[in-house]
Amino acid sequence: MQAIGVLTSGGDAPGMNAAVRAVAKIGAARGVRVVGIDDGYDGLIERRFRELAAPGRVDPAIERISAVGGTVLGSARCARFREPDGRQRAAASLDGMGLVVIGGDGSLTGAHLLAREHGVRFVGIPASIDNDIGCTASALGVDTALNTIVDACDRIGDTASSHRRAFVVEVMGRRSGYLAMAGAVAVGADGVLLPEHGRSEAAVVEAVEKLIRKGFEGGKRRVLVLKAEGVEVPCTRLVRLVEEKLTGVEVRATVLGHLVRGGAPTYHDRMIANRLSLAAVDGLLAGATDEMVAWLPTVRGGTETTDPYVRRFPMEHVLEETRALLEGTSVVTKWRLGLLERVEGVLPL
């Protein structure tokens, strides 16, 4: 293999740039060209390429991008890629290059189709702040997002305690409540609302109202509830309905939204970006294809790499486990929810 293309796709995540830089550096050290593909699959179809590295040389412009959030290569939705003709054009643009795809479930599914339909050789790197990708304990961006949530909730807690208020803080997590769950434990929240619970609006309102009432009756000066955006009750509506049931209590809504996606990546996200990139590039050059590299795998199997913390898994297996993760049938989802149930009585104390 003489050249490798690298693209970022789907929602941006802190650590993507660190992975792009690492792919370029490792490729140059291994004696291959590395081409950056702008704007995801849209850029691949249009051949919007830029040279990132040549054998023994790396573009100085990417040397410091590891400290930058988002993705310097850009990301874009691409309706054309969903059609067979669009994927054919994308495969033709590669002209035999290997491909590293950095992204989430949708991005990796797209690369899987390129491999199956057109024989494109690719290895994926998981990047999703929602931590909703199968086989891997963490994806790029998760640690940074959680640190942002912790910082925001700590600040909210300061003002909440000063005024004896309750706050419902919504964080990202459309299909997965991982950020809300892990964030709630980290900040010592009084409760957490997850899409995996499948509660009705009435049940959610009742649970939050009881939690706030119990907290203030027990002498607390602040009550904090984290809510994943996938819980289908808008944050402001939830607060309004809860306030109607309470008297003499102020409840506030805060939606962190895209704030959670931004910012410089943490040490952990930069570190795993480099280690996953090494396994991805070396895997491609060794003949691997249609696989994803996983950090501290959550399932058995896969292919060993030189890094004991990283294994490669067939994309078909990854996508199957991802579906199970989101449907709640994965042992990982069941373990996460079971762990939360065990600490549910501890959080409000």
pLDDT digits (tens, 9 = 90+) for 50-81: 999 999 999 999 999 999 999 999 998 899 99
- Buried/exposed code over 126-154 (b: 16+ C-beta within 10 A; e: otherwise): bbbbbbbbbbbebbbbbbbbbbbbeebbe
C-alpha–C-alpha distance, residues 265 and 140, integer Å: 9
What amino acid occupies position 268? H
Q: Which residue has the higher pLDDT, 339 or 42?
A: 42
Going by C-beta distance under 8 Å and a sequence separation of 6 or more, which residues neighbour residue 334?
Answer: 328
- The C-alpha angle with vertex 302 and arms to 299 and 306, in degrees rounded to 5, equals 115
Q: What is the mean pLDDT of residues 27-36?
A: 98
Mean pLDDT of the residues in the chain: 95
pLDDT of 345 higher than 70: no
- Quick one: tokens of 288? 């691997």
- Buried/exposed code over 312-341 (b: 16+ C-beta within 10 A; e: otherwise): bbbbebbbebbebbbeeebebbeebbeebe
Percent of the chain with pLDDT strictly greater than 70? 98
Domains and CATH numbers, the chain: 3-141+265-328 (3.40.50.450), 143-261 (3.40.50.460)
pLDDT band (50, 70, 90) for residue 347: low
C-alpha–C-alpha distance, residues 76 and 67, integer Å: 22
**What 3-state DSSP class applies to 84?**
helix
Give the pLDDT of residue 319.
97
pLDDT of 95 higher than 80: yes
pLDDT of 349 higher than 50: no
Tens-digit pLDDT profile for residues 304-344: 999 999 999 999 999 999 999 988 889 888 888 887 777 66
C-alpha–C-alpha distance, residues 192 and 186, integer Å: 12
Give the pLDDT of residue 26.
98
- Kindly report the backbone phi and psi dihedral angles of residue 172, in degrees, each rounded to the nearest multiple of 5, phi listed first: -65, 160
Give the pLDDT of residue 343.
64
pLDDT of 88 higher than 90: yes
pLDDT of 153 higher than 80: yes
- Quick one: tokens of 280? 């991805």
Tens-digit pLDDT profile for residues 210-249: 999 999 999 999 999 999 999 999 999 999 999 999 988 9
The single residue of 130, 143, 190, 290 carrying the catalytic annotation is 130
Tens-digit pLDDT profile for residues 258-283: 999 999 999 999 999 999 999 999 99
Give the pLDDT of residue 29.
98
Ranking 134-138, 192-196, 251-255 by mean pLDDT, the lowest is: 192-196
Which of 75-84, 168-177, 286-295 has the highest average model confidence (pLDDT)? 286-295
151 as an active site residue: the answer is no
Number of H helices, E strands in the chain: 11, 13
Question: pTM of the entire structure?
Answer: 0.95
